[in-house]
Chain A
């Protein structure tokens, strides 16, 4: 089959690889009809996630049709149309039993690597390095899906792929980012990053009852999408001297009630010297993650508020303002999204017409054009927000 393979820093190729097979009794094979490039795939593309190997099949946002099931699969049948959540979860361990699906204790065969890095292991993830299990991803014609009865959600109505595809990751991820803010009536939420996850965090904050949402980015076309599609106010951080001060001005001096980081480890800072400080430390591996957004979110948040981290971080960050966190009673909440928890309720919101997730799609390419998709998305060319690939 054709599959998008990581071939080194800033390099992906669509190659011919073997078709996936059933390896465990609860596996299913899915013929992929739509798959997307995630912002977190760019961290792999840019070479910031360790334990990648040349030839790794990328992609953790995908959906399609079940074409084969293992002997112990009971719920799914050949022919079912499914969206597959990006974390792989067994449904049996203590983490799954507690609704913490991205922390499944059984689905990462490379758990020991993860323990060395993080203290404890996390769940397996499709196409996302070997520290999360070394599973082939879904930017391909077919994918093997372990624990097929636990993860995939059946789509049994007439929605287009693009309306339901993002239940696999970015819609639940943005939603969880907003949910962790414990939004109350009157709350003002600030969202750093108006990429796909940021767009869904903004939309979700409104779904959860936020009074106002302020989207922060440096690309006007992304800010425009946040304004036009979700009704957010926006702040171009390159046009203000100081983001925390600007947010104070926008919130009557109180600061946002909660701050969502939808950027992660490759944050930018408009001040070149400050940006260079973290960029150089990251390049020389003195830190793995650039902390501009995290620092701003902490310093901007009102006393006693919540900082919700949904952007991906991989290791260590420098100059973390722990004093502000402790002294001002902030709560930090974060995590890889527990997608399984949100798929059903969010599909219901789509069914009720509360949201149409396809609004983020700006580019539709064939699978063979995946390398071009990565370049366009990475360089924010052609007003790119979200790339969907069709195998």
Chain B
């Protein structure tokens, strides 16, 4: 199953990149030559300072690598800001040999704190800018496009493979949806079909009074050879509490991309084999939460609905 999340990797931010490399370079120097660095900033090059210098160096390297490795490293950049504060505190109480040099070092740290704070806030804000969440996933089902389309078009089938959908009642272009929400609650909405091309694509969206505004597109593309049909799904929704809400939900295992991947795997199973395949370790069938907390692979005593 190929999976694509978002629209690919966002272009790297030049300022963030620069700060990342700065961290790595400074950290490497601190690790390699702590005593030389100590003299440079005017503190005594004793063992205690040397150990502190190494610790700070290790932190710098870790932060730098974190910033460089992540596509949107807001968290790691805030790590730099905290690091700056720690460094200023350390310098203020350090045993100095040359007060002038130490003051200059503090000024340098304070100087770099400015871009650190600016860039961290900027990235954090741009992460929160769009309050819409959209995910896309693809799976290949070994059935003709018309059949795969037909199964999807019967929205009443959704509870059979979409773990969060409790019920769907459909009438021609409109349908009423009830879905599980975090904290044992449910959300409801009416949806309408915006575009319906049999065997090719379906596009739908919730009506204005929905608890959670959402929309989706599914395209059915003939897979090469006799491989069946590629199902390309894009789902979007506006989380009730904005990006923060979505992030909170993620903490409780409600990650939409993961859910969609699990849902599509069950969709494929239902279409190809007739039902969701279950095991003793995963008696509810394919589901991330259950994979993390497996029960032992021995027969189940209580009745478990497949």
Contact = CB atoms under 8 A, between A and B. Distances in A.
B128 interface: no
Contacts of B304: 23
Given A26-B273, A94-B228, A130-B297, A113 B281 contact: no
B64 interface: no
B299 A136 contact: yes
Contacts of A364: none
A197 B280 CA distance: 28
B288 to A, nearest CB: 6
B273 A57 contact: no
A383 interface: no
Contacts of B265: 111
The main secondary structure of chain A at its interface with chain B is: loop
A109 B285 contact: yes
The main secondary structure of chain B at its interface with chain A is: loop
Contacts of A124: 277, 279
Contact of A105 (B268, B282, B295, B300): B268
B299 A24 contact: no
Interface string A101-122: 0000111011111010000100
| Interface size range on A against B | 35 or more
A53 to B, nearest CB: 5
Nearest to A126: B297
Contacts of A137: 297
B296 to A, nearest CB: 3
Interface in B127-185: 140, 142
A136 B298 contact: yes
Given A24-B306, A94-B227, A112-B288, A56 B279 contact: no
Contact of A110 (B1, B142, B294): B294
A38 B277 CA distance: 26
Interface string A5-29: 1000000000001111101111000
A53 B294 contact: yes
A109 B298 contact: no
| Interface size range on B against A | 35 or more
Interface string B211-239: 00000000000000011100000000000
Contacts of B303: 21
Contacts of A24: 275, 277-278, 306
A78 to B, nearest CB: 19
Given A112-B261, A130-B294, A18 B273 contact: no
A245 interface: no
A110 B282 contact: yes
B283 interface: yes
A57 B278 contact: no
A135 B273 contact: no
Interface string B222-261: 0000111000000000000000000000000000001001
Nearest to B270: A106
Given A23-B306, A90-B277, A110-B281, A17 B272 contact: no
A90 B275 CA distance: 11
B282 A134 contact: yes
B291 A110 contact: yes
Contacts of A17: 298-299
A25 B297 contact: no
B296 A109 contact: no
B280 to A, nearest CB: 5
A18 B142 CA distance: 36
B257 to A, nearest CB: 12
A25 B276 CA distance: 10
A23 B288 CA distance: 20
Contacts of A72: 274
A54 interface: yes
Nearest to B304: A23
Contacts of A146: 277
Which of B1, B265, B299 has the most CB atoms of chain A within a 10 A radius of its CB?
B299
A370 to B, nearest CB: 15
B197 interface: no
A127 B298 CA distance: 9
A1 B282 CA distance: 21
A133 B268 contact: no
Contact of B275 (A25, A51, A112): A25
A276 interface: no
Which of B258, B261, B282, B288 has the most CB atoms of chain A within a 10 A radius of its CB?
B282
Given A24-B275, A51-B294, A107-B277, 13 more contacts: A5-B296, A26-B273, A53-B295, A90-B272, A92-B273, A97-B226, A105-B268, A109-B285, A110-B282, A112-B286, A127-B297, A144-B280, A146-B277
6 contacts: A53-B281, A97-B226, A106-B273, A133-B281, A134-B282, A136-B299
Interface of A: 1, 3, 5, 17-21, 23-26, 51, 53-57, 72, 90, 92-94, 97, 105-107, 109-113, 115, 120, 124, 127, 130, 133-137, 144, 146-147
Instruction: Please provide the 3 A-B residue pairs with the shortest distance between their CB atoms, ordered closest to farther.
Output: A134-B281, A55-B296, A109-B282
